[in-house]
Chain A
Amino acid sequence: MRSMAIIAGGVFRDSIRDRIGYGLVFFSILLMASSFLLAQLTAGQDVKIIKDLGLASASMIGLFIAIFFGIGLVTKEVERRSIYSLLSKPVTRSQFVIGKYLGLVMTLLINLSVMVVAFYGVLLYLDMTTLDGAKAAWEAPALDPRMLKAFALIGVELMLVTATAIFFSTFSSPFLSVALTFAVFIIGHFGEDLKNINSIVQSVVLPYIAKGVYYVMPNLSALDVKSAVVHGQAVSASHMLLASGSCMLYIATLLVGAILIFSRRDLK
């Protein structure tokens, strides 16, 4: 238990010292600030654009970190052999995998929080500098707390993607792991459309395959409520619970799988 916490802390410390990590968070904040400029171009849709961009960039940056750093968690230690001395200490391989996972998740959630603060900061500025008359045209208030729901689900999505990245990295090369994680991400998002693929492709077998794949893969599009919150529509608590709960099952599956695979591997 303690070893897991120590390893997790190590991951967090690594991320702080990693210039790339910083750069990405900084970039996202920059994006949010510059969304102001873009807002000026689209006549009356300003708050929507800022919200859209803010949510999208938080999600994208988080994803980037989750995939690339997630894959490095295990592969870097194994390739560089720092894991040799680590495993001679009282820590099991399972604790190693879970510790690394928790460390990155913690990092991601903290990054996400920073971005949320920056996001609301920008919106606060917009709110203060916009006339009441213009505000009447907004579908939802600038400082809408409901957007936190979207961020919460983005957090869940990042946790799932990280688990996927770790899972693949326990047995594939870094390049392949990135590709496979990305593939799961895409299928997870477009699964609904995949299910309806017989709208454009006439085939007998394909709809069944597509449906099967849809059910086995996690439903990431359910975690995407960005559109809804930007338009001020309600996101029900039951939806949040069901979508998150389903993803937690997948996270558990992936982590158990990662442990099983990693524990049997010869570390050459």
Chain B
Amino acid sequence: MTAAPLKHSRYLWVVLIVLLVSATITQVVIEGRLQKPSVTPSVQWIQSPVLMRRLAVGFNAIWADIYWIRAVQYYGDTRLSEDESKNYDQLYPLLDITTSLDPHFNIAYRFGSILLSEGYPNGPGQADQAITLLQKGIRETPGKWQYFQDAGFVEYWWRRDSRAAADWFMKAGKLPDAPNWLEPLAASVLAEGGEREASRQAWLQLNQTADHEWIRQAARRGLLQLDAEGDIEILEPLVNKFFDRNGRFPASWQEMTAAKLLRQVPVDPTGSVYDLDPVTGTVDVGRKSTLFPLRSRLR
């Protein structure tokens, strides 16, 4: 008789399966309870992008991808967090590292600048950082007109500096391969009173030419925000009319429809009900709307 290779081996197989399953389940269970690793990457003390690339020992493209993933996750997690005050401080460093590791990481510059300039609390609201990032992109790839276009955008849309914006668009238009609508865009930006129209133009162009779906989505959102602003321009006077008639602002949209000033409760282009403030009479997109916050309400 030979002894079985292992005593109780059947029993051990069961133990093995139980252990593996419980290990996996434990992972699922503890996922939320583990401390989030600090996002601040240790590599920040490496000041030089060249050195950083060298230290990545040939895997810099992959590291860049990893940091890009982390940047996007960081932005998303922060935006969705329940905290009272949201802290987007690490976004710029993460994007900086990503673009240091891979200086031609197009989407990191372009979408990164969109994320950076997005108004608080949906984003850090750091238009300056966005411009800085784009300038870095321009240094690395001087001929890329899209970065100029994006910088012009940030200036116009977020910093409301038409002059600076027109300047960027003109520079962009002069680059080889640049499309021919950039210089006219510069012109319309400078035109007085044409602000909303110029913005619409700019967003439209971005939607049509951007090479990444996310940028196009941002452009479409911008267009919808413009539509919402148009709606508000119509709604607010109506609210004022109510005030004139009744000496106070309406408490809800129902009062407006009851007073026959509106036919139905107004919704923004995404279908979300507009927010009416009974105290000040201002109309805004609902806080839960994806169009929130409207740029025009930020300053």
Q: Contact between B27 and A215 (Cβ–Cβ < 8 Å)? A: yes
Give the contacting residue for A259; candidates B12, B24, B66; CB below 8 A: B12
Give the contacting residue for B38; candidates A190, A216, A219, A231; CB below 8 A: A231
Q: Most B CB atoms within 10 A — which of A52, A196, A253? A: A253
Which A residues are CB-close (under 8 A) to B69? 193, 196-197, 199-200
Q: Contact between B66 and A253 (Cβ–Cβ < 8 Å)? A: no
Q: Check if B85 is an interface residue, CB within 8 A of chain A.
A: no
Q: Contact between B30 and A93 (Cβ–Cβ < 8 Å)? A: no
Which B residues are CB-close (under 8 A) to A225? 35, 37
1/0 contact string of A56-95 vs chain B (CB within 8 Å): 0000000000000000000000000000000000001110
Which B residues are CB-close (under 8 A) to A250? 23
The 18 sampled A-B contact pairs (Cβ below 8 Å) are A45-B45, A196-B69, A196-B72, A200-B65, A218-B23, A219-B27, A221-B37, A227-B38, A228-B37, A231-B38, A236-B35, A239-B34, A245-B26, A246-B30, A249-B19, A249-B23, A256-B16, A260-B13
With A48-B45, A199-B69, A200-B68 in contact, do A216 and B13 touch (Cβ < 8 Å)? no
Q: Nearest-CB distance from A237 to chain B (Å)?
A: 11
With A94-B6, A259-B6, A260-B13 in contact, do A249 and B73 touch (Cβ < 8 Å)? no
1/0 contact string of A26-70 vs chain B (CB within 8 Å): 000000000000000010010011001000000000000000000
Q: Check if A165 is an interface residue, CB within 8 A of chain B.
A: no
Closest to A42 in B: B45
Q: Nearest-CB distance from B295 to chain A (Å)?
A: 26
Closest to B23 in A: A249
The residues of A with any CB-CB pair to B shorter than 8 Å are: 42, 45, 48-49, 52, 92-94, 190, 193, 196-197, 199-200, 214-216, 218-219, 221-222, 224-228, 230-231, 233, 235-236, 238-239, 242-243, 245-246, 249-250, 252-253, 256-257, 259-260, 263-264
Q: Contact between B73 and A199 (Cβ–Cβ < 8 Å)? A: yes
Closest 9 A/B residue pairs (Cβ): A263-B6, A249-B23, A253-B19, A239-B35, A242-B30, A45-B45, A199-B69, A199-B72, A256-B16
Give the contacting residue for A246; candidates B20, B23, B73; CB below 8 A: B23
Which B residues are CB-close (under 8 A) to A42? 45, 47
Q: Contact between A256 and B19 (Cβ–Cβ < 8 Å)? A: yes
A190 to B37 CA separation, bound complex (whole angstroms): 12
Q: Contact between B73 and A238 (Cβ–Cβ < 8 Å)? A: no
Q: Most B CB atoms within 10 A — which of A42, A190, A222? A: A222
Q: Contact between B38 and A228 (Cβ–Cβ < 8 Å)? A: yes
Closest to A250 in B: B23
Closest to B67 in A: A193
Q: Check if B171 is an interface residue, CB within 8 A of chain A.
A: no
Give the contacting residue for A264; candidates B6, B20, B26, B68; CB below 8 A: B6
A224 to B9 CA separation, bound complex (whole angstroms): 36
Q: Check if B28 is an interface residue, CB within 8 A of chain A.
A: yes
Which B residues are CB-close (under 8 A) to A93? 5-6
Q: Contact between A260 and B9 (Cβ–Cβ < 8 Å)? A: yes
Chain B: interface secondary structure?
helix
1/0 contact string of B111-151 vs chain A (CB within 8 Å): 00000000000000000000000000000000000000000
A233 to B22 CA separation, bound complex (whole angstroms): 31
The residues of B with any CB-CB pair to A shorter than 8 Å are: 5-6, 9, 12-13, 15-16, 19-20, 22-24, 26-28, 30, 33-35, 37-38, 40-42, 45, 47, 65-66, 68-70, 72-73
Q: Nearest-CB distance from B111 to chain A (Å)?
A: 10
A110 to B55 CA separation, bound complex (whole angstroms): 30
Q: Contact between B41 and A227 (Cβ–Cβ < 8 Å)? A: yes
Q: Contact between B6 and A260 (Cβ–Cβ < 8 Å)? A: yes
Q: Contact between A253 and B20 (Cβ–Cβ < 8 Å)? A: yes
Q: Contact between A228 and B35 (Cβ–Cβ < 8 Å)? A: yes
Q: Contact between B37 and A243 (Cβ–Cβ < 8 Å)? A: no
Which A residues are CB-close (under 8 A) to B15? 256
Q: Nearest-CB distance from A65 to chain B (Å)?
A: 21
Closest to B16 in A: A256
Q: Contact between A263 and B34 (Cβ–Cβ < 8 Å)? A: no
A225 to B12 CA separation, bound complex (whole angstroms): 34
Which B residues are CB-close (under 8 A) to A233? 38
Q: Contact between B12 and A246 (Cβ–Cβ < 8 Å)? A: no
Which A residues are CB-close (under 8 A) to B70? 193
With A48-B45, A199-B72, A249-B23 in contact, do A235 and B35 touch (Cβ < 8 Å)? yes
A263 to B8 CA separation, bound complex (whole angstroms): 12
Q: Nearest-CB distance from A13 to chain B (Å)?
A: 28
Which B residues are CB-close (under 8 A) to A214? 27
Give the contacting residue for B33; candidates A197, A231, A235, A238; CB below 8 A: A238
Closest to A53 in B: B42
Q: Nearest-CB distance from B212 to chain A (Å)?
A: 11
Which A residues are CB-close (under 8 A) to B24? 215-216
Q: Nearest-CB distance from A53 to chain B (Å)?
A: 10
A196 to B69 CA separation, bound complex (whole angstroms): 7
Q: Contact between A264 and B41 (Cβ–Cβ < 8 Å)? A: no
A221 to B45 CA separation, bound complex (whole angstroms): 21
Which A residues are CB-close (under 8 A) to B38? 227-228, 231, 233
A168 to B68 CA separation, bound complex (whole angstroms): 33
